[in-house]
């Protein structure tokens, strides 16, 4: 992957994580400003993924990487920002699912 593709991937991940972090503040998309910001961030993130696909980066690489990074960081955001509880079992299952996604992607 080129530096441009890596930067675009980082933009895709970071904007989607920011949008996910804003979801509770939208109150079910009833609060105008958080809803508009959340929606804009999701559009930017998906747009970045579209640019990567257009640049020739395989979806079989992009989606598994996103499927591993975003849920793990979302748990951290939930625990740190919103005070959600977590358990070792929950984290272990999420880690195992990331490993399985990685294995499946490597065999595709």
Q: What is the DSSP letter of 24?
A: G
Residue 29 main-chain phi, psi, to 5 deg: 65, 35
Q: Where are the domains of the chain?
A: 3-107
What integer pLDDT is reported at residue 41 of this predicted model?
A: 98
What integer pLDDT is reported at residue 108 of this predicted model?
A: 60
Predicted TM-score (pTM) of this structure: 0.81
Residue-wise pLDDT tens for the chain (108 aa)? Answer: 789 999 999 999 999 999 999 999 999 999 999 999 999 999 999 999 999 999 999 888 888 888 878 888 888 898 899 998 888 887 888 788 778 877 776 776
| Alpha carbon separation from 70 to 20, 45, 74, 87, 98 (Å, rounded) | 9, 12, 6, 18, 10
Contact 13, 70 (CB under 8 A): yes
């Amino acid at each position: 992957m080129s530096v441009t593709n890596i930067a675009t991937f980082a933009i895709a991940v970071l904007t989607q994580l920011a949008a996910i972090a804003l979801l509770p503040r939208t109150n079910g998309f009833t609060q105008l400003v958080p809803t508009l910001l959340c929606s804009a961030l999701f559009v930017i993130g998906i747009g970045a993924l579209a640019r990567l696909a257009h640049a020739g980066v395989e979806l079989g690489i992009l989606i598994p990487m996103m499927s591993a990074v975003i849920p793990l960081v979302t748990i951290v955001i939930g625990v740190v920002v919103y005070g959600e509880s977590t358990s070792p079992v929950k984290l272990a299952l999420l880690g195992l699912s990331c490993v399985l996604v990685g294995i499946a992607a490597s065999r595709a």
